[in-house]
C-alpha cells in the first residue's frame, strides 16, 4: 500500500524556507556595516573561522567585534524569523542562523588559538630529550608524569622533530598546537570536544565522538545529578 506523505503546515514550510535561505545567502562585505547584507557576509566568515582551526585568533576575534560594534546580529533572524535581541542569543543559536556556540565558549576558542600562536613564536628547543633511550636514562623533569601535556614541551617537540612545521606555525598556518602536531605526525589522542549550545546537537556530537555506550552512561549520570539537585 502506498504511503501518503504528510503535508507540511504553512508554519513548517515557512521554517524550511528560512533554513534554505539562510544556507544560500552569502551577503556582501562591501555593504554598509550594520546592514543585513553586510551582517550575512560577516556571519558566513565567522562560521568558517570557527570551523577552521587554522584560522587565526585575531581574525575570528575581529569578526565578532565587528558584529558587536555594528549590532549586525540585530538585523539577522533566528529559525523562527525573529531578530536576535542580543549578541549572546546570536552566538548560541545553532547554525546557519547563529554561530552554534555560547559566547563564553567562543572566547575560550580564541584564547586557545592565541596561546598556540604565542607559543610558536617563542618555541623552546628540547634537543637533548629526543632519540631512543636506554634503560635508566632520562631526568626527573623529562620523565615526570604529564610532561607530554605541557604546551611549551609540545611546541618544543615540534621544534625538534619537525622544524618545517614550526616555521608554518610561526607564520600562522596553524592556530592550535594540536593542529601542528597532526601535521608533524606527533599528535596524541585528544578527548576534548567543543559542544554547541543546542542539546540535541551536543548529544549527537558526544555519541559520534565517544560512542553510544558512553553517551548512555553520561545521560544516566546527568539524570542522577539533576534528580539530586
Grid coordinates representing 224 are 542522577
pTM of the predicted model as reported, rounded to 2 decimal places: 0.51
pLDDT at 5: 55
pLDDT at 135: 39
Mean pLDDT by 10 residues, the chain (229 residues): 60 69 75 92 91 81 93 93 94 91 89 75 51 38 42 78 81 75 74 74 80 82 77
77 bridge partner residues: 83
Task: Give the C-alpha separation, 103 to 94, whole Å.
Answer: 12
pLDDT at 89: 94
pLDDT at 92: 92
CA proximity to 202, closest of 110, 100, 90: 100
141 Cβ contact list (under 8 Å, min separation 6) = 147
pLDDT at 140: 31
pLDDT at 2: 52
Q: Where are the domains of the chain?
A: 16-100, 199-228
pLDDT at 39: 94
> What's the chain's length in residues?
229
pLDDT at 125: 46
Task: Give the C-alpha separation, 85 to 79, whole Å.
Answer: 14
Task: Give the C-alpha separation, 223 to 28, whole Å.
Answer: 46
**Where are the alpha helices (H) located in 25-136, listed in sequence order?**
36-51, 57-69, 87-92, 103-121
Amino acid at each position: 500500500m502506498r504511503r501518503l506523505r504528510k503535508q507540511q503546515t504553512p508554519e513548517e514550510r515557512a521554517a524550511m524556507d528560512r533554513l534554505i535561505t539562510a544556507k544560500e545567502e552569502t551577503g556582501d562585505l562591501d555593504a554598509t556595516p550594520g546592514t543585513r547584507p553586510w551582517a550575512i557576509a560577516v556571519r558566513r566568515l565567522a562560521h568558517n573561522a570557527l570551523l577552521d582551526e587554522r584560522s587565526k585568533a585575531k581574525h575570528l576575534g575581529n569578526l565578532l567585534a565587528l558584529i558587536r560594534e555594528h549590532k549586525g546580529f540585530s538585523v539577522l533572524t533566528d529559525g523562527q524569523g525573529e531578530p536576535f535581541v542580543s549578541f549572546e542569543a546570536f552566538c548560541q543559536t545553532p547554525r546557519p542562523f547563529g554561530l552554534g556556540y555560547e559566547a563564553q565558549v567562543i572566547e575560550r576558542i580564541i584564547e586557545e588559538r592565541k596561546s598556540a600562536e604565542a607559543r610558536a613564536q617563542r618555541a623552546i628547543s628540547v634537543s637533548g630529550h629526543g632519540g631512543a633511550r636506554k634503560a635508566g636514562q632520562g631526568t626527573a623533569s623529562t620523565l615526570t608524569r604529564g610532561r607530554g601535556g605541557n604546551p611549551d614541551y609540545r611546541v618544543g617537540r615540534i621544534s625538534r622533530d619537525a622544524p618545517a612545521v614550526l616555521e608554518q606555525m610561526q607564520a600562522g598556518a596553524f592556530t592550535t598546537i594540536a593542529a601542528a602536531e597532526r601535521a608533524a605526525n606527533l599528535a596524541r589522542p585528544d578527548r576534548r570536544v567543543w559542544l554547541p549550545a543546542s542539546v540535541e546537537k551536543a548529544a549527537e556530537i558526544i555519541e559520534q565522538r565517544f560512542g553510544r555506550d558512553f553517551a548512555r552512561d553520561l545521560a544516566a549520570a546527568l539524570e542522577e545529578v539533576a534528580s539530586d539537585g
